[in-house]
A and B are shown apart, each in its own frame.
Chain A
């Protein structure tokens, strides 16, 4: 490929040289005898000049033929798909579209190349943030590495997680935007998904509204919401989005003891009039904000 390009470049270059020298021949022919040919034997001087120019053209032509013979002809016509029709565009402002299209193509091609590199580097330095307990080999096969999935996939994921935790119910009330509401006896959480990624979480009291945009009126749930955002970023894993969602919800489920479990460090229920609002990311143990 690299060599082909080089040869194509040198072939184009020799065509350019040939063209410029042919132009010089015609220039000379059209000008005829000039003052700088002098008086004595001006015809023979002129013919000599023309001869020289034609020899150069001849050499150039040989160069072109040589470089041509080095090129490998393409196997058949290029398939440009629908883009071929762009070249037949007649309206003025759309004629530039083909160039833009090519640029865009090059750009995405580069992105693909760079992201593949980045992916390799990141895979070599894994952070191991998500819980491997979920990733049995059977599941891994079905796991998608793409977060941009049809809504059914998200719905299926939510129902499968719902089955994991019998003490809470997870419902999606909107048919188009799957913002599932997790409703337990302790609290409720409204989660916004973007594809398979968790975009936003709001935790509220049992009786508060299902509105994603207003925070809870209770301090304890505002604190839990804050901690959920931290955990959401912690579990975020673009390579395994489904596992990230499962890990997050597994962690989140430990809040079913929000009011009943004392702090692991100070053994009290209350600190600053708040229960332990933090759950350890690995062992899910409850801690006060100040005790973790």
Chain B
């Protein structure tokens, strides 16, 4: 597990599949090889009023860690991350009388996964309850685990691949964690950040 940067790529006048097509042609031209597909999904549950102050649980799955269920509990003052095995999904079903999910908030990002050198690139089409919302590009530099050390290197890679749309600053979530050892939950945090923004944004209205 290396440092991962998640960034949104503007679709401009293109449809989702067109954008993915443009990006996959670019990454293939750089010498990448496609290695299957990937999927990150997120379901959000809120506590019922009887439990007191409202709390939110985000449950996420990442195909890169298929045996793990990630959950982030928001109490209002802090966020508690939890990484568990698959049984957590069943536990959430048992707790459906305390934590309810709004079906129209189910978000996911999926698409092709590429390997190029020690980099792993994922081109994700984001949908919220099946409505197309945008494109998320995930780039992981697998050998390095400290964000501060490889941020410039990743920025160079991203800009070489995304051009001017590449990020100029580290993701906000990482900015005060640049010296810490990176772990899969950090990727989950970044996805949640983007999913939350996509949920708030009005649908682009284009079919995926």
Which residues of A come within 8 Å of B, CB atoms?
Answer: 185-187, 205-207, 216, 218-221, 258-260, 262, 268-270, 272-275
Contacts and interface: CB of A to CB of B under 8 A. Distances in A.
Contact of A259 (B30, B117, B150, B181): B150
11 contacts: A185-B149, A187-B143, A220-B143, A221-B143, A259-B143, A259-B149, A260-B149, A269-B152, A270-B157, A274-B118, A275-B153
10 interchain residue pairs of minimum CB distance: A273-B117, A259-B150, A269-B153, A218-B143, A259-B149, A269-B156, A259-B144, A260-B149, A206-B145, A218-B118
B146 A273 contact: no
B88 interface: no
Given A270-B153, A270-B157, A207 B118 contact: no
B116 A260 contact: no
Interface string B91-116: 00000000000000000000000001
A273 B149 contact: no
A273 B158 CA distance: 11
Interface of B: 1, 30-31, 116-119, 141-146, 148-150, 152-153, 156-157, 160, 181
Contacts of A262: 152
B184 to A, nearest CB: 12
A186 B146 contact: yes
A272 B149 contact: no
Contact of A219 (B117, B148, B157): B117
A220 B1 contact: no
A185 B144 CA distance: 9
A219 B118 contact: yes
A219 B31 CA distance: 15
A275 B150 CA distance: 10
A259 B118 CA distance: 12
B149 A186 contact: yes
B145 A185 contact: yes
Contact of A260 (B145, B150, B181): B150
